[in-house]
Structure 1
Amino acid sequence: MAGERSALRREATGRRLARFAALRGRAARAGQFWDVVAVTAADAQQGRAYRRQLEEKLRREELPLGARYHVFVDPPGPRIGNGGSTLHVLRCLEELYGDKWTSFLVLLIHSGGHSQRLPNASALGKIFTALPFGDPLFQMLELKLAMYIDFPRHMKPGVLLTCSDDIELYSTGDAETISFDRPGFTALAHPSDLAVGTTHGVFVLDPSSFSGKGGVEYTSCHRFLHKPDVETMRQHGAVCPRGNCPQLSSSAHRGDPQVGSECVYTDSIFYMDHSTAKQLLTFYKEVGTLCCEIDAYGDFLQALGPGAAPGDTERASDVTKEGSWLAEVRQKLHCLLRGTALNVIILNNSKFYHLGTTQEYLFHLTADSKLKFELGLLPVAFSISPGKAETLGPSASVIQSILEPGCSVGPGSVVECSRIGPEVSVGKNSIISGSYIDLKVDIPSNCFLSSLSIKINDQLEYISMVFSVEDDLKKTVKLLSEIHSLQFFGVSLLDCLDLWGVKVSEQLFSSEAPRWGLWTARIFPVCSSLGESVRTALQMLSSVQHMSAFDLNGFRLLSVEEMLSYKDVEDMLKFRKQIYDEICLQRQKEKCDL
C-alpha cells in the first residue's frame, strides 16, 4: 500500500514537472501562471545576490516568462521574522502597483534567513540551492514553481505563502485540482506522526468532517496549535485515530516514520485572499516600524478558527526575549484576525520534506529512497564524472561539478558546484560546496567544506569554512569562560584555538555577547586564491584531528558572519559559470561523437 501511494506521488510529480518544463523560457497565458513571484531577503546585500541570480535564470530561459519576479528586502533594523516580511511585501506591492496588486496571483517565498543550519546555502540563498535533477538543473526555486504549477488556474486573487527549504510532494487522487477560492486563509495539511507535530503547526479538525481517505478533502479548522507538545495535542483534540490517517509523513526522520495508531495533520503552505491581505496591510501601516519578530504561522494562523484563544499569543520564551512590544503586537494581530476562517485542504497522500539543516540535506539527497524515487533524483546531475563505480560511493550525490579521474566520493556525501582534483578522496557523509580542491588529500567523513569569494577594500580574495556536519553553528555563549562548551569537529573550541595559536578575547568574535559561537568566531583565514583557501582550511581541520599545531597568526581571520558580509557574489557566480560552461562543452562534444 505504501509503495502504491509513493508511485502515485511519483506519477503526479512527473506530470507537474513536465508542465513546468513546457513553460520554461516561454510566456505563460493569463491565469496560467503567477502574476508576481516575490522572494524575501534579509538585507540589501542578500537582496542583490538574489536579484543577480534571478537575472541569470531569466537570461538562460530557465523560468517561465511574463511573471513579475521581485526580491523584497526586509527594512533595516531589528529582525522582523517571516510574518513581518509578509507585511512588508504587501506594502511593497501596493507601492509598486497601487490598487492593481489586489487583482494579482502572488507567490511569496520566504528566503530571508542566513541559513546557519545549512551554511552552504548562506552565501547565495536557500531558494537557490541546487538539486540533483532536471535539465537545465533545478534549484529550489524551480521546484517550488513546478510543484505549485496547477495552483494559479484554480485560485482567486490572493497570496500563497511558502518557505524556501521545504518540498511538498502529493497526489490528489481522483480530484484533478486543488482550489484556493474561499475567503480568509486556506492551508494545506499533511498527515504526520505525533513527533513531527511537535516541530510544526498542527490543525485541530473535527474528525466527523473528513474521512482520511482519497486524495484531497476540504474542511475547516477549529484551532491551530503552533509547535505543541503531545499533551497539548491530545488536550485540544488534534490527535486522530490511525483509521483517519492513511499515511504518515515526516520532515526530518531517518527512514520511514514508525507506523502508530495515531496521527496529526501538520502545516506547510497557506493562502490568504486579498481582502484578508488588505486587512494585514492596514494593520502594518498603523503599527509603523516593527521592532520584533513575527511568525507568519505562529502569529497569523493561531488567531484563526472559532477555538482560537487570546492566551495563544503568550508564548513565554519569545515574549521574555523581545519584551512587551512583541506581546502587544501579537495581541493586536489576534484581535484583527479573530473570527477569520481557516480553511484546510487535507492532502491524504502527501509527503513533506525539510532541507533546512546539514543532516536533513544529506539524508534527503542521498539516503532517502522515497524522495529519490518520487522526484527522480540522480546520483550524478549535470556534471563531469569519471563514470567508474568505485569513484562514487553508494548514495553519493554530485551536482553541477567536475570530478577528475582518480578522485573518489564516499557514501552519502554531496558535492555541489565544485571542481575535485585527481588525488582527492572525500569521506562519507560530507558536503563539499563551491570549492576547488587541487591537492592530494583525504577529506574526513562528516566534513562540511564551503568556499566563498570575498572583496575587502576592492581586493578580491577567498575564504573557506570547514566544520563537522554535526557542529551546532547556532549555539552561543555569554561568557569567555564558557567557550569550552562550543564544539568544532567534536573538539572543544578552546582546545582548537590553542592548536591554532589564536588568543581568547572578546575580539575573537565579530559580534558582542551573548552572540559568541562558531558563527561569529574569527577563525577562518583569508587567502589569495580559491585553491589556497581550501588547502588552509583543511590544514586547520587536520591539526584538530591529529592534535598538532597549525599557526594562524600570519593570516587575517574572519568569522562566517563577516565572510558573508564581504561576499563577492559576482565572482562566486563566475566560478559556477565556468563549471557550467565546461560541462555544456563536454556534453556537446559527447553528442558530436555519437
Structure 2
Amino acid sequence: MSFAGEAEVLLQQATRERLEKFARLRGKAVQTGKFWDIVVITAVDKKQEIAYQQQLSEKLKRKELPLGVHYHVFVDPPGPKIGNGGSTLHVLQCLEEHYGDKWDSLTVMLIHSGGYSQRLPNASALGKIFTALPFGDPVYQMLDLKLAMYIDFPTHMNPGILITCADDIELYNIGATESVRFDQPGFTALAHPSSLTIGTTHGVFILEPQLHLTETGELEYRSCHHFLHKPSIESMRHSGAVYKRRNYQPSPGGLGNSVVDSEYVYTDSLFYIDHTTAKLLLTFYKQMGMLCCEIDAYGDFLQALGTGATKDYIKNTENITKEESSLMEIREKVSSLLKGLPLNLILLNNSKFYHIGTTHECLFHFTSDRKLKLEMGLLPNVFSICPNSPEDLGKSACIIHSIVSSRCSVAPGSLVEYSRLGPEVSVGMNSIISGCCIDTKADIPPNTFLATLSMRIDGELMYVSMVFGIDDNMKKHVTNLADIDFLRFFGISLGQCLELWGLRISDKLFSGDTTCLGLWTVRIFPVCSTLSDSVKVSLGILNSVQNKSPFKLNVFKLLSSVEEMLLYKDVEDMLKFRQQLYEEISLQKLEEKSDL
C-alpha cells in the first residue's frame, strides 16, 4: 500500500472511531470536563431562532444529543446584518448575560448557522446545521456530525470559544498518543493541506519559518506569520504560502516507486479564542454599541494577526458582498485591537475539509463522492422505507428519512429527503427533492430542485413548493425591472417565463426591497391547501418552461416568493410531517425485525 493509501485508511478509521464514540454518548449524561459545557447556534432572525429551538427540543426529546450540555440559540440583534464576526461578538455578550463570571471557566462551541442558505435552499427553512446526512440511526444531521468530529477537543482545551460554521466537515487523523490541544493564548486555528485552487476560496496561512527543520508528522504546532483571505494563486506564490510535498507512488508494472512533487497551501476551517481574548473582544463590542455593517470572523479577525500582518486588507473590498461606509472604520479598530496577538496553528497534515453549502456540493458529496462515502460510511438508503435495491434506484441515488414506493424511480446522482413519493413518480438525474408529498403521476426532469414548505397566513395553514433548476443562481439580483431578462430560471430568461405564466412585470411581482430583484424575491409560487397540490402546481410551472407552453399563474389567489415562504413558514407543521414519516418508518422497521 502506498503512503497516500495508508494515510487514507487511517483517516477512515479515525473518523469511524469518533462517530462510534459520539453514538455512545447520544441520550446519555456527559461528565463535567469530558464534553462541551455550552453549544451555541446562531440565528439571523426571530423566526430562525424559533425554528432552531424547536428542532433542538425534538432532538433532545428523541435522545439524539448528549445530555447535561447547555444548548443555546442566540439570535442576532435587530437591524443591519452584522455577519459572522458581528454575530461572534454578540454571542460573547449573550454568554456573559447568561452566565455572569462563570463563563470564563467554560468550554464553548459556537456554530454559525445564521443565514438564509440561498445556495442550498432545502436548508433555508430549518437551517444548515440541521441538514440531514446519509448515515446514522436515527439519521445524523450536521449538528451531530460537528459534535462527533470535535468530540476529543474539550478535554484538551482551556476555557474559551471554538468557532465553526454549519456547512463544513473536517476529518483528520493524528498519532495514537497525540492530541489536538487548544491551550495557547490568543487565536488558534486548524490548518489543512489543500490545493492552490481551493486556497482561492478560503483563508490561507503563511507559516513562520522554523529555525530547525523537523520531519513533518500528521500533527504539527506552528505559528502563523500572515493570513491571506481568499487570495489569488499569484498572491499565494508571491507571499510564500505555497509548500511542496514529495509523494512516492508505485511505478507502472510494480518496479519500485516514482517520486512526484505536489504543491499545496494550508487553508482554514475552525478557530479557537481563549477566554482572555474573548473578554477583549467583548469589551470592544460594548464600546462600539450597535454594529452597522457585516464583519467577517475570518477575514476581519484573522487578517489582523501574525507577525507579518499589515493593514493592506482594511481597504480591500474584493471579497465582501456589500460594501458599507463604516466597514473601513471597524476594520481599522479591530486591527488595532488585535495587533500583536498570536495566531497559533495546528497543522493537520492527514486531514480533509469538505464544504456542503451548495446544491452541487450536497449532491456530489452525498451521491458520487466515493472518498467521503468510505471515510464516513455514507449510504444510499438511510432510515427510509424504500423497497428498491440500490441498483434499481441508481447506484448513486441517496434516500434519507423518506417513504418511497417500490414503483417509484430515482435516477443516479439525485437526493430525496424527508419526502413521500408514490408509485408513479420518476425523479431525473442530479435533482433534490425535499419535504415533498407526491401521490400522483409526476415526471421530474433532471437537474430539478423541488422543496415544499408549510406556511401560516392569517392563521390558516397553507403549503407552497419552490421549484428551480439546480444551476439557477438564487443570489443573483438586478436593481430595476428593465433588467429582468438577466435572471435565468432553468436556463430561460425570467421575462420569457413570466410571459408563459401570464404574469405582468411590476414592482408588486417582487417581495422585499424593490432594488434587489431576483429569483429569491419573485412571487411565482402558488399557495395551496394541501402538500400534494402545491407540488402539482409547481411542477406545472416547470413543465411550462420545459415545453414552452402557457401555464397561467394569474388565476391563483396567492403567489409567494421564497423570501415570503421563510417569513410565514410554519416550523411546527414541517416538523410534524417529518415526525409522521419517522413514526411510520420506525413502525415498519420494527415489524420487519419481529418477522425475522
- Same fold flag (TM > 0.5): yes
The alpha-carbon deviation at position 313 of structure 1 amounts to 1.6
Structure 2 counterpart of 1:242: 245
Q: Residue 511 of structure 1: CA displacement?
A: 2.3
Q: Where does residue 273 of structure 1 map in the other structure? A: 274
Distance 1:519 1:295, change over 3 A: same
2:126 is aligned with what amino acid? Answer: L
Matches within 5 A, 1:136-285: 136-206=138-208, 208=210, 213-243=216-246, 261-285=262-286
Which moved further from structure 2: 173-182 or 46-55? 173-182
Partners of 1:454 and 1:462 within 8 A in 2: yes
Mapping of residues 25-40 of structure 1, within 5 Å: 25-40=27-42
Cα shift at 1:515: 1.2
SS at match of 1:271: strand
Q: Which amino acid aligns with 1:294?
A: I
* 171-180 vs 576-585, which moves further: 171-180
Matched letter for residue 436 of structure 1: C
Matched, 1:467 2:468: yes
Matches within 5 A, 1:245-394: 261-317=262-318, 321-389=322-390, 391-394=392-395
CA distance in 2, matches of 1:438, 1:416: 16
* Distance in 1 (alpha carbons) for counterparts of 2:29 and 2:198: 40
Aligned pairs (5 A) from 1:545-556: 545-555=546-556, 556=558
1:76/1:389 CA distance change after superposition, 3 Å: closer
Q: Which amino acid aligns with 1:470?
A: D
The 8 Å contact of residues 407 and 420 in structure 1, kept in 2 or not, is answered as yes
RMSD of aligned Cα (Å): 1.5
TM-score w.r.t. the length of structure 1 is 0.96
In 2, distance between residues paired with 1:181 and 1:12? 23
Distance 1:374 1:331, change over 3 A: same
CA distance in 1, matches of 2:158, 2:54: 31
Q: Which residue of 1 aligns with 2:595?
A: 593
> What's the counterpart of residue 448 of structure 1?
449
Q: CA deviation at 1:298?
A: 0.3
Structure 1 residue aligned with 2:46 = 44
1-structure distance, mates of 2:320, 2:511? 27
Closer, same or farther: CA 218–558 of 1 in aligned 2, 3 Å: same
Instruction: Give the residue type in structure 1 aligned to 2:227.
Output: F
Please give the alpha-carbon distance, in whole angstroms, between the structure 2 residues aligned to 1:406 and 1:322.
Answer: 52
Deviation at 1:25, TM superposition (A): 0.7
Equivalent residue in structure 2 for 1:14, among 6, 13, 16: 16
SS in 2 for 1:303: coil
* TM-aligned CA deviation for residue 242 of structure 1: 2.7
Question: Are the equivalent residues in 2 in contact too, given 1:391–1:406 (CA < 8 A)?
Answer: no
Q: Distance between the aligned counterparts of 2:79 and 2:450, measured in 1? A: 31
Match of 2:69 in 1: 67
Give the stretch that moved more between structures: 163-172 or 304-313.
304-313
Q: Deviations over 1:304-340 (max 9, x none)?
A: 0111111222223478943331110110000000100
List gaps (5 residues or longer) in structure 2.
Answer: 250-259
| Counterpart-to-counterpart distance in 2, 1:187 and 1:372 | 27
2:49 alignment partner, SS class: helix
SS in 1 for 2:132: coil
Match in the other structure for 1:255:
none
Cα distance in 2 for residues equivalent to 1:99 and 1:466: 49
Query: How big is each residue's C-alpha offset from its partner over 1:561-584, in whole Å with a ceiling of 9 and x where there is no partner?
Result: 001100000000000000000000
Greater alpha carbon shift after TM alignment, 577-586 vs 314-323: 314-323
TM-aligned CA distance change 1:207 to 1:364, over 3 Å: farther
Report if the CA contact (8 A) 1:467-1:488 is conserved: yes
- Residue 41 and residue 211 in structure 1: after superposition, are their counterparts in 2 closer, same or farther (change >3 A)? farther
Query: Quick check: 1:186–1:271 contact (8 Å CA) kept in 2?
Result: yes
Residue 207 of structure 1: how far off its partner (Å): 5.1
In 1, Cα distance between equivalents of 2:446 and 2:40: 38
| 1:363-442 equivalent positions in 2, closer than 5 A | 363-389=364-390, 391-442=392-443
User: Per the alignment, do residues 132 and 590 of structure 1 end up closer, same or farther by CA in structure 2, a change over 3 Å counting?
Assistant: same
Preserved CA contact (<8 Å) 1:246 1:348? no
Output the amino acid matched with 2:413: G
Match of 1:514 in 2: 515
Q: Between Structure 1 and Structure 2, how many residues are aligned?
A: 582
Instruction: State which of 88, 97, 111 in structure 1 corresponds to 2:113.
Output: 111
- Please list, as runs of the form range in 1=range in 2, the aligned pairs for 1:94-109 lying within 5 A after superposition: 94-109=96-111
Partner of 2:254: none
Q: Secondary structure at the match of 1:373?
A: helix
Residues in 2 aligned to 1:13 and 1:404: alpha-carbon distance in whole angstroms: 34
Contact 1:201 1:297 in 2 (8 A): yes
Residue-by-residue CA offset, 1:476-504 (whole Å, 9 max, x unaligned): 01121111111101111111100000110
Query: Cα deviation per residue 1:366-422 (whole Å; 9 max; x = unaligned)?
Result: 110000000000110000001335531121000000001200100000000000000
Residues 246 and 64 (structure 1 numbering): CA distance in 2 closer, same or farther, change over 3 Å? farther
Matching residue of 2:257: none
For 1:88, give the aligned amino acid.
H
What's the counterpart of residue 491 of structure 2?
490
Match of 2:252 in 1: none
Could you say what secondary structure the match of 1:87 adopts?
Answer: helix
* d(CA) in 2 for partners of 1:48, 1:528: 24
| Segment drifting more, 309-318 vs 349-358 | 309-318
Secondary structure class of the residue paired with 1:138: coil
1:377–1:319 CA distance, 2 compared to 1 (3 A)? closer
Q: Secondary structure at the match of 2:57?
A: helix
CA distance in structure 2 between the partners assigned to 1:203 and 1:212 by the alignment: 20
Contact conserved, 2:187 with 2:343, CA < 8 A, in 1? yes
Number of the residue aligned with 2:253: none
Structure 2 residue identity aligned to 1:22:
R
Give 1:174 shift.
4.2
SS where residue 181 of structure 1 aligns?
coil
Instruction: Give distance in 1, aligned partners of 2:470 and 2:215.
Output: 38
- Moved >6 Å (runs of 4+): none
CA distance in 1, matches of 2:231, 2:248: 22
- Counterpart amino acid of residue 227 in structure 1: K
Q: Percent identity?
A: 64
1:269 maps to a residue whose letter is L
The normalised TM-score by structure 2 is 0.96
Q: Distance in 2 between matches of 1:41 and 1:389?
A: 37
- Offset from partner CA, 1:5-63 (integer Å, 9 cap, x none): 22111100111111111111111111111000000000000000000000010011100
Quote the residue 2:581 is aligned against. Answer: 579
Query: Contact between 2:230 and 2:319, CA under 8 Å: does it hold in 1?
Result: no
Cα contact 1:50–1:124 (8 A) shared by 2:
yes
Q: CA deviation at 1:212?
A: 7.2
* 1:319–1:239 CA distance, 2 compared to 1 (3 A): closer
Provide structure 1 residue ranges, at least 5 long, that are not aligned to the other structure. 248-258
Q: Distance in 2 between matches of 1:487 and 1:454?
A: 26
- Quick one: distance in 2 between partners of 1:246 and 1:437? 52
- Give the distance between the partners of 1:336 and 1:561, measured in 2 at CA: 38
The answer to whether the Cα contact below 8 Å between 2:407 and 2:423 also exists between their aligned partners in 1 is: yes
